Structure 1
């Protein structure tokens, strides 16, 4: 190869793997603390994601003095965030003839590559450059990608940069607006973002639905019928809203029932569709947070075990040799499952509704041993393997029995099901098969009624969002992208706007949304954000100018700032912040108990708001994030508290009960 060649990847471990796949006798050299992999006349360098970032000039840093509107048309600058990396790139740029961008193939990855390319071209304007795209870091995928390089997609990179710019402006304007209005500055500032706000609104409004829900009573009648030794339960076909009617119907039910209709048939249950990012995170959220699941998936991808985990695709492309992957899996811990799939005459993969050309659905790319991976890595790897094998498995077959039974004019329905062939369910163990036993019956057959009951029930409020169902809703509304949705949810947790899973909003989270809904509701609606995501695709396709999209977004924010009632916004936010600190009523003087900090050492505790007249206090753990729940201790009428640590949530319960228990234990010890 004539001249010197530089290959740029997104991370260091990707650079290490790619260099080992492409070259022999790779030598690792450290330059300014950066790993450079050298072989022949080639350098391979892994970046640390973005090495530059957009920011406001320094004169805009004083939140209190800089007018919010001035942020809208400020000259955004690029700041180097990884100085040593940039210096190494500059020094190597002077001696190379060609550079290949091998960052992740998506919008963000394209921008990361272009950022590095711009630095290199500033030093060496005549350098040749190209792009390689791959969906798995395996020898075959990498060699294939490097054998047919393509062009850098500057429009795709531009669309990512414009999103960064708009998010910077939105985030700065709105975050400063509510932080200044609430008086929460410094490390306790309140953040608001383009995607964050409408996502938080979903959680807040669901919580309000639950709080305002008024249950309605209804009655249901159940009867258990016997045929031979088998007893099965049926439900009255009517749900009664009136108790008197229910009691009349219940009284009519005799001690016999006549089968008036019976149907028995086999029903095939199709296997699940291939994993795209949204579906993967929904399933993974059963085991860990969506943010952690994505981090683990990225680690497995960079280690060559699974394909790229950021994809919208739910259709395997024809270029993937599915049988070869299954055959490879027979050599590992999923031998039995893989052989079951191969026992079919022909492999047929399920297809989802979304098909894209950038990356295939998430699938295994190498055989992993359990002792090679961490506990979390194995959980995610097993999930991906089992999902992949399930998509190639035969249908599950059920026998379904449906019909009606008449007892003195009261009609009961039954719907039985029995699994007779496990099919894909044999492999995908995360979906429980619930059987409902019902025997074979004949029309006109008379059955004994073993028991009957009239049950009073209440309608239930809607469920809170789990992180998995929230990601699905965000996708439906066009909030964020496959690459950012889990990060948005994580940000809501870190800002103390939400806690738990299912997600509950904190008082301050509710205050932020209620204040914005009152004064600038459009910020909390998905419409503008969803439209902006569509505009990003248009920019990437060269159909829309980036200047137009930025200007449209600035005009939108300008209008909001012009119509705001800052005083009203401030009052709503400050009331919410005050409520967020209230734990309950002081047992001594009945004034509010609030979370406070000691002067000087910043240790936190619960104290009476009537201090110094009342000095009642309760201790608090000094580590972890405190969440005041809406559940009251029945004995003390103090809100129960949860503590979030790196290991998860710890239910402290009522802090007063907790303190009294601690005192009792100390008495016994002493």
Structure 2
């Protein structure tokens, strides 16, 4: 799917022609080998670099970096955006002094949106959004920032990206690169990588400049496009449908969907339903109490608890019979309470929520401010391991200034080995754990509380574990085991600075092994199992991280979304409770069979995005894979939408019925095939006027490919069968039902055919053009999809050079026949010589005209008189059906069987013996007998044939209407008692006639009686001919040939017009072709 940047008048010079594809290589145009560590080696013409444009992600970051690089001597001036200043100063870079212009953006500079026809909610069916074109554009509130970049970059020779060093920051960096390269294509680009805004970190970043990483940016592009397509399609579907189904509850409510927010909602609903379905059970246990002086010690039962009352009662009574406790063991061992791991983003969000009661969204907002002001390191990190090259001593020393925890920081510096962090197991290879970078005592409110937490956590993790001594006492009462434990803390260590953990001393009396005592009380108590608690925000974040939903930087955003949409609420103790709408949506989608509230789909996407960012998977393959996966789920969800209504009804009231017209508008048409012009799906849609349908491309109005079905087609629908021939697969077959009387009698009124081009029968009947790639549209120049389908094209006016649209006879089950030969040849000619209708050797030519047959060879009459034509690559298939694929799946035409068990009987389309009826209705045919299908009216195949026209073959003719395996028909030569196969029929559109001699008479094997009717034929005499090599498939061609060759009378009109015709072509079974004036 191509993604383009949108040209808009407000963008000034614009960013025309820059797209995501270009962005993948733009950085490579500006720098050299990425493996070289020294940035100076990657820069062309270093001496020419006089001015450097640096762009940070936020103005605070730009100011902080400028302050460090300039030692506080920068000059500030205004940019075009009042929120994004320009800081100018001198800096020593690449061994020379350069002028640095440092400015900033405000997050993403460009947005992603559907192109104009698809932006409005009612502009198209939501399913089309999976394939609709999208574009990068600059939002109105970013235009001034963009203009600043375009203006400043013109005077610079180098661009350095100083955005945050994560996926989003890398993608923002490439948006900056796109804008700048649109103005100055040859600008050189480098990337500064840093984790904190401190002097050491910034100077190190200047010394290790590298190339921007397009792979990391690609992962964001994929995520953005998928989020847009998935979110927009499901949101429009849900909102537009449910607002009509529940107008009183949801009339003005946006019912959004997101591939991350829905699994997040699913966790809340799942926990709530677990509580609802929980059945408490009563349990029983024995408790022993022992009072020594003022202390009461409780001994717990080693069996813990029993759910059988009788069993517990028996054991209790045994203990009461001999209630003396014997001390069996006294064990004393050292005990440690581990200091916390280094702080990553997820842990910071969870602990801030639990300990500080600050939401994850507010936590990330505050942390971002602290980072840009230089108080802490980068707050979006998955790492909980301090790298060995990070000097922790200076960071701890910075905190000795504090009057609150300064003394503890000094203890850490003085402890053996100095700061000694407890290391975790996670690293994103980009940023260290979150830690303070400088001391501050002026922060207030939540900023001060979060900063204090980060400092205390850092000092605790580089300190030492708390130490204690634990004593465990085991006793025996009537062979039942009980135990208790006590704790003596010997060294608090990290607990002195980390009040967020609790570890208290528990004192117990001194017991000696082997001693006995009388318990103060032995009790049998009962209790009940309790359900799990509702999720807290920390619990929810932990589940999201465990199942791979979102990233450390987006967890808070997804949680906030389900809260703002009223899918969930908060209890008084800040636990999540699902709302009625949230419950109904999750239950509705789960009842469809697609567990869309489960994390599986999104977790797979997140894993693929990681592989894209690492260069292990291709961006476009991942994008298309997940688009098709979610599109399939979406289509099935729409078809099962009533389950959504049923799930929401208990919460929102009775569902209202949607009028049938609106229901049809909301249905998602299933794809029939791919459009040969643009590659999108082609679907069946209802005509704006009438009840018919047409096949159209979903890319309308950009693509106007369409196929209009004539009025003779009463019904058309998608069949589940797939055409094995047409490409690109899958191409679904169509079920068609024709108007009675609109087809020749031998054709069934209902059959299944392929619209892909391989069914020549269907193409002839419907007078359709084959959908070839690169063409200009379907039959009649129809249009594609749109909010209102265009009117069908008007009927074609009769044309003197228009070929009549006569269908070939359908394929039937063949009788055993000798294989047909290619063409008849003279006795003296070579066996490979092609002879035309004149009996002369045909001329071999090559198609020169542009088109699908360009370069193809064919034969034609050397003298140009007989109209002979034959493709050179089909000499062995003359007379066979020239279908481009599998034969059309239709029922057998009616036929009279000969030389079989049913000899002489008429067979219907079902291949069963037809029954004979008599016309009872008053009229010219009253009393006339006819054959019809013997099944019930609902199951009849539509077969009809007058009994007096069912004439069996005569003489030595070996079977009436017998088709070959490829649809070919054979003529037989009658020479006495022996029959030999004659030449097969010619290709469609041509007929051969030669002077027939009495001893060499040819009789065509035509179907039992069929009549083709034409109008406008200027012939005034009764004519009868015995054509040679004319099959039933070419009867119409015989008439065409007769006009031009035999009578020299030219047909002016050949349009099929039924009863208004003035002449007819009558073909008797096995008999001659007769032209009769009506």
Report TM bin, short chain.
0.7 to 0.9
Q: Which segment drifts farther, 304-313 or 499-508?
A: 499-508
Task: Indicate the residue corresponding to 1:359 in structure 2.
Answer: 431
In terms of fraction of residues, the more helix-rich structure is: 1
Distance in 2 (CA, whole Å) between partners of 1:506 and 1:576 is: 13
Whether the 8 Å contact between 1:510 and 1:576 is mirrored in structure 2 is no
Query: Of the candidates 407, 425, 429, which is equivalent to residue 336 of structure 1?
Result: 407
Task: Indicate the residue corresponding to 2:345 in structure 1.
Answer: 277
Gaps of 5+ in 1: 581-670
Query: Of the candidates 132, 138, 148, which is equivalent to residue 74 of structure 1?
Result: 132
Distance in 2 (CA, whole Å) between partners of 1:542 and 1:157 is: 11
Whether the 8 Å contact between 2:112 and 2:136 is mirrored in structure 1 is yes
Query: What secondary structure, in the 3-state scheme, does the structure 2 residue paired with 1:539 have?
Result: helix
Query: What secondary structure, in the 3-state scheme, does the structure 2 residue paired with 1:267 have?
Result: strand
Task: Indicate the residue corresponding to 2:460 in structure 1.
Answer: 390
Distance in 2 (CA, whole Å) between partners of 1:342 and 1:490 is: 41
Whether the 8 Å contact between 1:315 and 1:351 is mirrored in structure 2 is yes
Task: Indicate the residue corresponding to 2:180 in structure 1.
Answer: 120
Query: What secondary structure, in the 3-state scheme, does the structure 1 residue paired with 2:518 have?
Result: strand
Question: What does the per-residue CA deviation read over 1:309-348, in whole Å, with 9 as the maximum and x for residues that have no partner?
Answer: 1111111001111112111111124202212222311132
Distance in 2 (CA, whole Å) between partners of 1:187 and 1:3 is: 57
Whether the 8 Å contact between 2:284 and 2:526 is mirrored in structure 1 is yes
Task: Indicate the residue corresponding to 1:197 in structure 2.
Answer: 262
Q: Is structure 2 residue 223 aligned with structure 1 residue 153?
A: no
Q: Is structure 2 residue 152 aligned with structure 1 residue 92?
A: yes
Query: Of the candidates 341, 345, 362, which is equivalent to residue 416 of structure 2?
Result: 345
Task: Indicate the residue corresponding to 1:8 in structure 2.
Answer: 55
Distance in 1 (CA, whole Å) between partners of 2:618 and 2:471 is: 60
Question: What does the per-residue CA deviation read over 1:446-482, in whole Å, with 9 as the maximum and x for residues that have no partner?
Answer: 1232233332211111222211121111111111111
Task: Indicate the residue corresponding to 1:548 in structure 2.
Answer: 621
Gaps of 5+ in 2: 1-46, 91-98, 245-249, 655-1078
- State the Cα distance separating 1:154 from its structure 2 match: 1.1
Q: Is structure 2 residue 563 aligned with structure 1 residue 513?
A: no
Larger RCO (CA within 8 A; separation ≥ 6):
1
Q: 1:28 to 1:271 in 2, by over 3 A?
A: same
Whether the 8 Å contact between 1:274 and 1:361 is mirrored in structure 2 is yes
Distance in 1 (CA, whole Å) between partners of 2:508 and 2:583 is: 48
Task: Indicate the residue corresponding to 1:59 in structure 2.
Answer: 117
Distance in 1 (CA, whole Å) between partners of 2:450 and 2:112 is: 34
Query: What secondary structure, in the 3-state scheme, does the structure 2 residue paired with 1:66 have?
Result: coil
Q: Which segment drifts farther, 384-393 or 179-188?
A: 179-188
Task: Indicate the residue corresponding to 1:210 in structure 2.
Answer: 275
Query: What secondary structure, in the 3-state scheme, does the structure 1 residue paired with 2:594 have?
Result: helix
Whether the 8 Å contact between 1:182 and 1:573 is mirrored in structure 2 is no
Q: Which segment drifts farther, 138-147 or 204-213?
A: 138-147
- State the Cα distance separating 1:88 from its structure 2 match: 0.9
Query: Of the candidates 260, 268, 272, which is equivalent to residue 336 of structure 2?
Result: 268
Whether the 8 Å contact between 1:9 and 1:47 is mirrored in structure 2 is yes
Distance in 1 (CA, whole Å) between partners of 2:568 and 2:294 is: 52
- Equivalent pairs counted in the alignment come to 579
Task: Indicate the residue corresponding to 1:399 in structure 2.
Answer: 469
Question: What does the per-residue CA deviation read over 1:222-254, in whole Å, with 9 as the maximum and x for residues that have no partner?
Answer: 221144654311112221212233333334335
Distance in 1 (CA, whole Å) between partners of 2:265 and 2:300 is: 40
Question: What does the per-residue CA deviation read over 1:414-449, in whole Å, with 9 as the maximum and x for residues that have no partner?
Answer: 133232211222222101114433233221111232
Query: What secondary structure, in the 3-state scheme, does the structure 1 residue paired with 2:617 have?
Result: coil
Q: 1:515 to 1:37 in 2, by over 3 A?
A: same
Task: Indicate the residue corresponding to 2:325 in structure 1.
Answer: 257
Whether the 8 Å contact between 2:53 and 2:101 is mirrored in structure 1 is yes
Distance in 2 (CA, whole Å) between partners of 1:215 and 1:375 is: 44
Whether the 8 Å contact between 2:66 and 2:74 is mirrored in structure 1 is yes
- State the Cα distance separating 1:70 from its structure 2 match: 0.9
Question: What does the per-residue CA deviation read over 1:582-641, in whole Å, with 9 as the maximum and x for residues that have no partner?
Answer: xxxxxxxxxxxxxxxxxxxxxxxxxxxxxxxxxxxxxxxxxxxxxxxxxxxxxxxxxxxx
Q: 1:97 to 1:374 in 2, by over 3 A?
A: same
Question: What does the per-residue CA deviation read over 1:543-570, in whole Å, with 9 as the maximum and x for residues that have no partner?
Answer: 2111111111111122113323344144
Aligned-pair Cα RMSD in Å: 2.0
Whether the 8 Å contact between 1:232 and 1:437 is mirrored in structure 2 is no
- State the Cα distance separating 1:22 from its structure 2 match: 0.8
Distance in 2 (CA, whole Å) between partners of 1:205 and 1:25 is: 58
Query: Of the candidates 77, 88, 92, which is equivalent to residue 29 of structure 1?
Result: 77
- State the Cα distance separating 1:256 from its structure 2 match: 3.5
Distance in 1 (CA, whole Å) between partners of 2:530 and 2:311 is: 22
The aligned runs of 1:613-624 (5 Å cut-off) are none
Q: 1:576 to 1:38 in 2, by over 3 A?
A: farther
- State the Cα distance separating 1:186 from its structure 2 match: 8.1
Query: What secondary structure, in the 3-state scheme, does the structure 1 residue paired with 2:627 have?
Result: helix
Whether the 8 Å contact between 2:290 and 2:296 is mirrored in structure 1 is yes
Whether the 8 Å contact between 2:584 and 2:644 is mirrored in structure 1 is no
Whether the 8 Å contact between 1:12 and 1:47 is mirrored in structure 2 is yes
The aligned runs of 1:526-565 (5 Å cut-off) are 526-564=599-637, 565=639
Distance in 2 (CA, whole Å) between partners of 1:110 and 1:579 is: 48
Whether the 8 Å contact between 1:181 and 1:569 is mirrored in structure 2 is no
Query: Of the candidates 293, 298, 321, which is equivalent to residue 233 of structure 1?
Result: 298
Task: Indicate the residue corresponding to 1:568 in structure 2.
Answer: 642
Q: 1:231 to 1:186 in 2, by over 3 A?
A: closer
Whether the 8 Å contact between 1:477 and 1:526 is mirrored in structure 2 is yes
Distance in 2 (CA, whole Å) between partners of 1:573 and 1:242 is: 40
Q: 1:191 to 1:377 in 2, by over 3 A?
A: same
Q: Which segment drifts farther, 177-186 or 335-344?
A: 177-186
Query: What secondary structure, in the 3-state scheme, does the structure 2 residue paired with 1:259 have?
Result: strand
Distance in 2 (CA, whole Å) between partners of 1:4 and 1:467 is: 48
Q: 1:183 to 1:570 in 2, by over 3 A?
A: farther
Whichever of the two has the greater Rg, that structure is 2
Whether the 8 Å contact between 1:220 and 1:455 is mirrored in structure 2 is yes
Distance in 2 (CA, whole Å) between partners of 1:344 and 1:19 is: 37
Q: Is structure 2 residue 360 aligned with structure 1 residue 300?
A: no
